Amino acid sequence: MAWTTEHGICLGLWILWCLLHSALVDPEVTSRLEKRLGERFALYRLAYNLFSLLSVLPLAAWTLTIDAAPVFRWSGAWRLGQAALLAAAAFLFAAGARKYPLRDFLGIPSRSRKPGNEPTIAGGGILAVIRHPWYAGGILLVWAREVSLFGLALNLLLSAYFVAGALHEERKLVRVHGEAYRRYRGEVSMFFPWKWLRRRIKNFFEADR
């Protein structure tokens, strides 16, 4: 199936969703809202997550109905590759959930959190291997489906959005944690565990000496 006007509109709406989703957590926007809302700002993250979910679900459903015939299918031996991508994505989501403060991520206010008392850098587990397991899992997930011409454009867009989201998150973490996060960033890779693998290989050969 050729690219249609409907595909263009759908891709445009995905671009709009990504831009809006990022703009609503821009530091300038959140700082203004915090001044305006005061203590009620604690509910902003919850409202943001609800809005994101309720806005993306109909868009995702529409996307599935208009997607074109695939130019690449996961068939035959390739299905092993698809299964590997899905399994890796599931592992990254589960491993990340064990380390992230989900209450803060979901925006559920905590009475024990005092103003100015920012959470510390989570360490260990998957976060000792890569810095952004959920973003990495998201990238693997979007590429695990059959790809059409429209799907290729959408996958590239969403992958770029995940990378941009990770970079945006890192800027916030550097502002909060300063040199401590810079050291962590120097020791742990963003998406693929190059630095972890290099340390493991180095330790293996040093142990053999």
Question: How many angstroms separate the CA atoms of 179 and 168, rounded?
Answer: 17
- Say if residues 18 and 157 touch (Cβ distance below 8 Å): yes
Could you report the per-residue pLDDT of 127-150, keeping only the tens digit for each? 999 999 999 999 999 999 888 889
* Strand, coil or helix: 70: strand
Q: What is the pLDDT of residue 160?
A: 95
Q: What is the pLDDT of residue 64?
A: 87
Nearest to 81 by CA among 136, 146, 130: 146
Domain at 43, CATH number: 1.20.120
Q: What is the pLDDT of residue 193?
A: 92
Top-confidence residue, 19 or 28: 19
Q: What is the pLDDT of residue 119?
A: 46
Nearest to 134 by CA among 77, 107, 95, 164: 95
Q: What is the pLDDT of residue 17?
A: 94
Top-confidence residue, 143 or 107: 143
188: number of Cβ within 10 Å: 19
Q: What is the pLDDT of residue 206?
A: 75
Range of the domain at 113: 5-207
How would residue 49 be classed by pLDDT, with cut points 50, 70 and 90? confident
pTM: 0.83
Q: What is the pLDDT of residue 116?
A: 41
Full DSSP string of 182-200: HHHHHHSBSSS-HHHHHHH
Question: How many angstroms separate the CA atoms of 129 and 150, rounded?
Answer: 33
Say whether pLDDT at 47 is over 90: no
Say whether pLDDT at 117 is over 50: no
Count structural domains, the chain.
Answer: 1
Top-confidence residue, 207 or 51: 51
Could you report the per-residue pLDDT of 62-103, keeping only the tens digit for each? 998 887 788 888 988 999 999 999 999 999 999 998 887 666
